[in-house]
Amino acid sequence: MLQLLRCVPRALGTAVAGLCVAAPSQPLPRLLQPASRLCARPFGLLSVRAGSVQPQGETRARGPGALGGAGGPGTAGDKAFVEFLNDEIKEEKKIQKHKSLPKMSGGWELEVNGTEAKLVRKVAGEKITVTFNINNSIPPPYGEEEQPSEGQKVEEQEPELTSTPNFVVEVTKDGSKKALVLDCHYPEDEIGQEDEAQSDIFSIKEVSFQSTDDSDWKDTNYTLNTDSLDWGLYDHLMDFLADRGVDNTFADELVELSTALEHQEYITFLEDLKGFVKSQ
């Protein structure tokens, strides 16, 4: 009997150990978790460009034979192309919202060099520079699941075009040889629209220090990606930008400025294209 009682604790211990091994271990919580910040993307400012959506079921022949010409400069194809561009330019100028570029509030000075724009603001011994480029800044008018349905009028589904470029904020202090660089962008997912007052319409993607003496930034400098950033640090970085005038109001106005600049450059491109096709 005594021998049997001695075996009981050992048997119980073995059973408990077996249960511990069989039970799945819980993963350790991640210490550095990025903040779950709501982002609402600003809506468009311009209507879809004339003729940008081809009606379903309509196709046309391409090449010299389509218009009965032999090809080459000055053919019927070129003349039809020029006529089309004339109509396109008229339509684009008709829907152009800003004949001149809108101004930014907050004392920002604007410099434009082609498709690149630079906003500069000086305050309290600091220089804040925001740079963006309007090339490839307009997303496709339709997503994969947003194509117009057959039989439905295209005009009823045409979204408005909005330029939402990535932009870089560079903060330098007087007497310092380092610049704090924050790479920002407008998120593609429109979430949090029900509470836009508490959301950010732009987000910080990367943060790094760069030398003010170098014209080109170096990839060898450490770059902090915010995907794995502590939420507290991320919030302080957003507040840091807001204190220097880069907030939701700024982001909204930048979208309007970028959209106006992109539309202006598009019209100029059409005019240059017409002149190029027309010249012999």
* Mean pLDDT for the stretch of residues 224-230: 91
**Cα–Cα nearest to 32, from 240, 238, 227, 236:** 227
* Residue 250 pLDDT greater than 60, yes or no: yes
Quick one: what percent of the chain has pLDDT higher than 90? 52
Rounded to a whole number of angstroms, the CA Rg of the chain reads 29
Confidence of residue 212 (pLDDT cuts 50, 70, 90): confident
d(CA 1, CA 3): 5
pLDDT of residue 72: 63
* Residue 211 pLDDT greater than 60, yes or no: yes
| Bigger pLDDT: 155 vs 239 | 239
Confidence of residue 239 (pLDDT cuts 50, 70, 90): very high
pLDDT of residue 19: 40
Ramachandran sector of residue 224 (left: φ over 0; alpha: ψ -120 to 50; beta: rest): beta
- Maximum alpha-carbon separation in the chain: 114
Q: What is the mean pLDDT of the chain?
A: 77
- Three-class secondary structure of residue 178 per DSSP: strand
* Residue 90 pLDDT greater than 90, yes or no: yes
pLDDT of residue 181: 96
* Residue 144 pLDDT greater than 80, yes or no: no
pLDDT of residue 123: 92
pLDDT per position as a tens digit, 107-119:
999 999 999 999 9
Strand partners, 185: 203
Confidence of residue 53 (pLDDT cuts 50, 70, 90): low
| Bigger pLDDT: 128 vs 2 | 128
Which residue in the block uniquely carries the two structure tokens 């152009």?
96
* Residue 247 pLDDT greater than 90, yes or no: yes
Confidence of residue 188 (pLDDT cuts 50, 70, 90): confident
Confidence of residue 83 (pLDDT cuts 50, 70, 90): very high
* Residue 127 pLDDT greater than 70, yes or no: yes
